[in-house]
Amino acid sequence: MEQRRTQMGIMNGVPASVTKIPGGQIIMTSIDWALNSARRNSLWTLTFATKCCGIEMMHTGGPKYDWARFGMEVPAASPRRADLMIVAGTIVKKMVPVTRRLYEQMAEPKYVIAMGVCSISGGPFVYDSYSVLRGVDEILPVDVYIPGCPPRPEALFDGILKLHEKIKKQSIVREK
């Protein structure tokens, strides 16, 4: 019975960077692992939906797909509380200053997901229009691209998991 308790404890499912001191009262790990685990499991999203991809993004947050299991329970009401911006849809040049301002107001570290071909490359609207931006990466640093017109909710989940992997590899020590 005693052996079963130790196997069902907090040490299950943690990486090799976490060690347990004999006696069982202290757990040691790297600060990078602890911070990155908290960051990737509690993302606050700022949704910037302008076209059809926004409908799929709302569907992803619904009960069938439930993105709350990735720590994204409630979208942020303010950009100052958000650390992930999901750009879903076409960005016109008139929206560029607002989009940049929202990004600049976000908390550090901040991440951007470009969802759908319209936010990645301008989509079908870029050919005969002078005002459509040819991808949000012209104005913001994009971390994950999710292609599709519109992408399925599973594709958005895959993009979120790719972002989780990117966050997992970050370090609090910044190279200069």
Query: What span, in angstroms and rounded, lies between the C-alpha atoms of 3 and 128?
Result: 69
| pLDDT attached to residue 112 | 93
- Which among 115, 128, 122, 62 has a CA at the least distance from the CA of 96? 122
pLDDT digits (tens, 9 = 90+) for 100-139: 999 999 888 899 999 998 889 888 887 878 888 888 999 9
Query: Distance between CA 19 and CA 34 in Å, rounded?
Result: 13
> What token pair was written down for 126?
């870029």
Domains of the chain, CATH where assigned: 37-167 (3.40.50.12280)
Name the 3-class secondary structure at 34.
helix
Nearest to 13 by CA among 37, 43, 44: 37
pLDDT in the model for residue 24: 60
Weakly modelled stretches of the chain, pLDDT under 70: 1-30, 173-176
pLDDT at position 34:
72
